[in-house]
A and B are shown apart, each in its own frame.
Chain A
């Protein structure tokens, strides 16, 4: 086993050990935050595949998460509750209770199918029209969930979803997402995708099938967003249209932008920061006494902080924290060595003077 495969192997072992410790020692609240963290990683990496690598600035990923989430939840919903809570479906579906994994995958697949249907017309749009059209998808799905009460329980939210998700599921999926996106991006297909993003005419001239390349990336991206939605539903045990609103659009973009469009490492970092940071702000939102000081309830403080981060990143470092670089042990080590060398060179230069 060479160094190339040893390092990821050790990393996965360490992650496994950390997850085991977390699952056995942490209380439900921390487990939920960690779960959301993993789901956010999946969402951000998948969004990055479309927007960062593919140049398809999608504001429709919450819609894909919603479609995947509701599909998985409806498939895996307990048969005893189905007929009374969501009576709109045909009899055979009401009698069916699908195991968790196939339900998740089917949720992702449904999101993919919608992505193909929507992407076929919409991906022909260039630049920012795509953003508005996909934002439209978010609105359409939102309106659909609220109004199709017999199928989704509407604004009430679909509660009573069995708690199938745990950290193993979530981080397993997160690893799978990272692996697939990484391999996809660092392949012939990925080079074609980035070529289309940077100059689609040049890419077309070089024999890249622009429409197909974009559609494939969009569809794969939607699959993982859908799976993340499925994991979310079975983690929180409830799905509401509010979870997939404009707010979800903003936060998804913020996670991706903060980390860097076109960097998987960046997406992970962005998701971690944007999941952990709000946990420290929420106490201030509720108001009351914090560290002995009185605070009034500050509604929307989390969103204000996220918005300010978004604006500041755009003003100061529009490429995000990681830019389009990836974390690599070898390069990090090399950079440390490089710094020392530079230092040495400086001293020599001063002496020479």
Chain B
């Protein structure tokens, strides 16, 4: 394989991973933009979505149905969490919400653990998705194309929703200035709920796709992707919708290229690099690529 082929292969792998991070980052970025809250449970909502989609897949359902089940489950989980735990805390200190989300994360992980088992699981094989796909010299599988296609479609839908509907307008107004928006008669709790619905649905999409791409799912496999999604959101500029997607792509590419081009001894520290990148971004440009600098630092 020539240098160029290796580079292109890494580029393709990085983009696929980046779209997954982007899907996860959107929900985190929107929630942070609204509530100044890091939702540590976001990744676990994703995991819950997959774990409900898994039996659907084992029962022999085709991919679209499994995907729908994952989306529905994640959306429902996200909504229930925000309704029961986060909504009563909307007016409390930031750290209360943060701790509550840690609690929810721990709860979801272990409820799933109790109901299933720690053994890793995978969805029933889907021959179509596992088929190899050759693009010039670059080898992918159909599932990779599916990730890119679905991510683009869902991101576009979310974009259209935010730009061209009244709730979308309200969400953008809230992200800009929550107090002013409240005074304009926007019902904050309802908008927060919508925000969680969108974010969790996108997380559900990402979850099912992760399931088909990597297999090997256990109750803890959502947490780290969730935190990485937050890192992606920070890179892109927290609170910014395009920022979340582009931040995801950047993080995916960085991760793949670092692992691909560093010597083997250093390549093992994959997860560590993500956080080094985070610390670097926060030091050099805390508002990320597209974010507005925070005026009040709390």
Interface residues of chain A, those whose CB is within 8 Å of chain B, are 57, 121-122, 124-129, 131-133, 135-137, 139-140, 143-144, 147, 200, 246, 249-250, 253-254, 257, 261, 298-301, 303-304, 306-308, 310-311, 314-315, 318
Chain B, residues 97-116, CB within 8 Å of chain A (1/0): the string is: 01110111111011101100
Q: Interface residue count for B (Cβ, 8 Å)?
A: 50
Contact call B103/A303, Cβ cutoff below 8 A? no
Q: Complex Cα distance A144/B98, Å?
A: 27
Chain B, residues 270-297, CB within 8 Å of chain A (1/0): the string is: 1110111011001100100000000001
Contact call B272/A140, Cβ cutoff below 8 A? yes
Query: A-side binding surface: helix, strand, loop or mixed?
Result: helix
Contact call B94/A127, Cβ cutoff below 8 A? yes
B33 CB → nearest A CB, Å: 13
Q: Complex Cα distance A18/B268, Å?
A: 48
- Across the interface, A126 reaches (CB within 8 A) one of B99, B272, B278, B298, namely B298
Contact call A121/B283, Cβ cutoff below 8 A? yes
Contact call A318/B104, Cβ cutoff below 8 A? no
B118: Cβ under 8 A from any A Cβ: yes
Q: Complex Cα distance A126/B98, Å?
A: 14
Q: Which residues of A contact B109 (CB under 8 A)?
A: 300, 303
Contact call B38/A133, Cβ cutoff below 8 A? no
- Across the interface, A253 reaches (CB within 8 A) one of B102, B107, B231, namely B102
Number of A-B residue pairs at CB separation under 8 A: 135
Interface residues of chain B, those whose CB is within 8 Å of chain A, are 36-38, 85, 88-89, 92-96, 98-100, 102-107, 109-111, 113-114, 117-118, 219-220, 223-224, 227, 230-231, 234, 268-272, 274-276, 278-279, 282-283, 286, 297-298
Contact call B100/A311, Cβ cutoff below 8 A? yes
Q: Complex Cα distance A227/B234, Å?
A: 34
Q: Complex Cα distance A129/B89, Å?
A: 20
Contact call A301/B114, Cβ cutoff below 8 A? yes
27 contacts between A and B (CB under 8 A): A122-B282, A127-B36, A129-B282, A132-B38, A133-B275, A135-B227, A136-B278, A139-B224, A144-B272, A250-B103, A261-B95, A298-B114, A299-B117, A300-B113, A301-B110, A303-B110, A304-B107, A304-B114, A306-B106, A310-B100, A310-B106, A311-B100, A311-B104, A314-B103, A315-B88, A315-B89, A318-B89
Q: Which residues of A contact B96 (CB under 8 A)?
A: 314, 318
Contact call B98/A128, Cβ cutoff below 8 A? yes
Chain A residue, CB-CB nearest to B113: A300
Q: Which residues of B contact A128 (CB under 8 A)?
A: 36-38, 94, 98
